[in-house]
Amino acid sequence: MPVREINLMEIEKAALAYSEATDRLRSLTDALQETLAAEKRAMLKPIRAAAQQAKERRGALAALVDIARHLFGKPRTLIFHSIKVGLQKGRGGITWDDSEHVVRRIEAVFGEEAESYLHITKRPNKEALEGLAVAELKRLGCQIEESGDQVLVRPVAGDVETIVNRLLADAPEEG
């Protein structure tokens, strides 16, 4: 089957059609974002008020349970209106103010065994590796991405595709 000749006018027309489609998509997503932002602004004050009220009521409930500890021997917890109340064994925890100081102390106290008490994160430094020769990179197990000419089709401005993909991924299937 012979390959048909394509001229720049055809490509320009297809680019115009694609540009019009992405402009329409952008205007729709912009309108949606504006609507969501307005709704968020409208709901923020009542949400904050509800959160404050919930915090206060939780505190009042916790104070009542604390005063009435004797009511929670067996069972130690009860559920009222989907709210579990009572007593539970405290889990305790470890905290510190200065991570670097604690790391230095662990290294000083435990020496070579310090690594078992520390999270050590190692990952390849891509910027440094880019300076190596291709043969050296292959020896390290790195793959070289195609550096030749590749087809590019992407709107120049904005992140419409990201927004649309996120919307479509979150949207329920229409039947």
In this predicted model, what pLDDT tens digit does every residue of 92-120 receive, in sequence order?
678 888 888 888 898 899 888 888 888 88
Into how many domains does the chain fold? 1
Find out whether 102 and 89 touch, Cβ atoms under 8 Å: no
- Evaluate whether residue 108 is within a structural domain: no
Write the DSSP string, 43-112: HHHHHHHHHHHHHHHHHHHHHHHHHTGGG-SSSSEEEETTEEEE----------S-HHHHHHHHHHHHGG
Percent helix / strand / coil, the chain, rounded to 5: 60, 5, 35
pLDDT tens for 41-80 read: 888 889 889 989 999 999 999 999 999 999 988 898 989 9
Which residues lie across from 84 on neighbouring strands?
79
Give domain status of residue 43, yes or no.
yes
| 105 lies in some domain | no
> Does residue 173 sit within a domain?
no
Give the domain range for residue 73. 1-89
| 5 inside domain | yes
The reported pTM is: 0.48
Residue 80 lies in a domain: yes
Q: What is the pLDDT of residue 150?
A: 63
pLDDT of residue 95: 80
d(CA 128, CA 134): 13
**Residue pLDDT, tens place only, 124-140:** 888 888 888 888 888 88
Q: Is residue 79 part of a domain?
A: yes
